[in-house]
Homo-oligomer: A and B are copies of this chain.
């Protein structure tokens, strides 16, 4: 039986534009709250973009994602899943970053997620830029290397930038593989496209066994076929899902820092998340929403719609 404390406020009771905006209108339950132990899934913001090498802004993502998430209702229209009745979900608030110190910020994020893991809460994160995934994985992948399903237009597998800088939003999964947080043979990257400086990242992927589905292949095979491969790859192993909003075509998600044209539309984007059904998701994130590049909130609304689809696949099937 669902606990009413953990039910989102209905727009039939309080209009959706009203109220203090928490993720999906869930209760705000900080880590030091007495009710934290009841939480099954924690929605968390990582408002940090210190790894961004191009156009900044994702530090503002969690705020706008919370705002637009008040348009999300309680039931999945396509599948009928009611996630908030299936498990106790809550907004755990934001990790406080240090905008002027990259290493300190990563330390803070890992420390926060160590507590989340200790509390046996599955995190669903709203970024932040893609470097946020690395300190999260340092908490989640500490015990055993994880599988990963990765939606993106970039591999984020580069070695370094600017003459030796190892930590940027273009390097997190190179680091995560090097640190043993991910099992590269159980990592699949979907939607890769755009111009490149060179193929150093793809060569690395091939060398360590990461599977890449370029966008041309994605469009040719279709969502269902690609996602079947992804599910098969990770099987039932503990798997992280990371969803960079720039996976989606910029007409649907203009609010991001490194867009690449030619991506999937919003229906395909939703389908990808929906087709995660059955995956053993131990954590997920939606990153790179950059409000300064889309003040309308359209990108953030797509972002929270995707978070909701992922959430529906993080709860036990009814």
Contact indicator B12/A66 (Cβ below 8 Å): no
| A56 located at the interface, meaning its Cβ lies under 8 Å from any Cβ of chain B in the complex | yes
Residue of B nearest to A162 (CB): B98
Residue A66 contacts which of B20, B57, B94, B99 (CB distance < 8 angstroms)? B20
Give A64 Cβ to nearest chain B Cβ, in Å: 9
Q: How many residues of A contact B (CB 8 A)?
A: 94
CB contact under 8 A between A71 and B94, given known A12-B161, A78-B193, A250-B298: no
| A115 located at the interface, meaning its Cβ lies under 8 Å from any Cβ of chain B in the complex | no
Contact indicator A47/B263 (Cβ below 8 Å): no
Residue A18 contacts which of B72, B96, B298, B308 (CB distance < 8 angstroms)? B96
| Chain A residues within CB distance 8 Å of chain B | 10-22, 28, 45, 47, 49-57, 59-60, 62-63, 66-67, 71-78, 80, 91, 93-102, 104, 161-163, 165, 167-168, 192-199, 214-216, 219, 249-252, 254, 258-259, 261-263, 265-267, 269-270, 292-293, 295-296, 298, 301-302, 305, 308
Residue of B nearest to A80 (CB): B199
Residue A250 contacts which of B72, B168, B295, B301 (CB distance < 8 angstroms)? B301
Contact indicator A74/B196 (Cβ below 8 Å): yes
